[in-house]
Amino acid sequence: MNQHSNFLTEISDFLYPQSPYHGQFEPEYLVFNAHLQDFSQRVNHICGLQTSGKLSSEDAYKQIQILWKQLKMTKKQLSIR
């Protein structure tokens, strides 16, 4: 069971890598950094789906545009310049 758990952890770390935060420490910056990393991972997955032919260019663009608007809203809500 423990070996299976380690395998799943390694897979998760590979698919969803997290980089440490290296900026000025403010709670809102830390939260925004987490959202930015999530945005980056989702865009990467969308690009992979589009490249492999499982998603049209138009659909990929629309999905990335929605993610971008969500990220901008997060930035605005956190009052980050």
> What pTM was computed for the model?
0.73
Instruction: Please list the alpha-helical segments (H only) found in the chain.
Output: 2-15, 27-51, 57-77
The distance of Cα 53 from the centroid of its chain, to the nearest Å, equals: 21
Hey, where are the domains in the chain? Answer: 26-81
For 34-47, write each residue's pLDDT tens digit. Answer: 999 999 999 999 99
The model's confidence at residue 1, banded by pLDDT at 50, 70 and 90, is: low
Distance of alpha carbon 12 from alpha carbon 63, whole angstroms: 23
Inter-axis angle of helices 57-77 and 27-51, to 10 degrees?
180
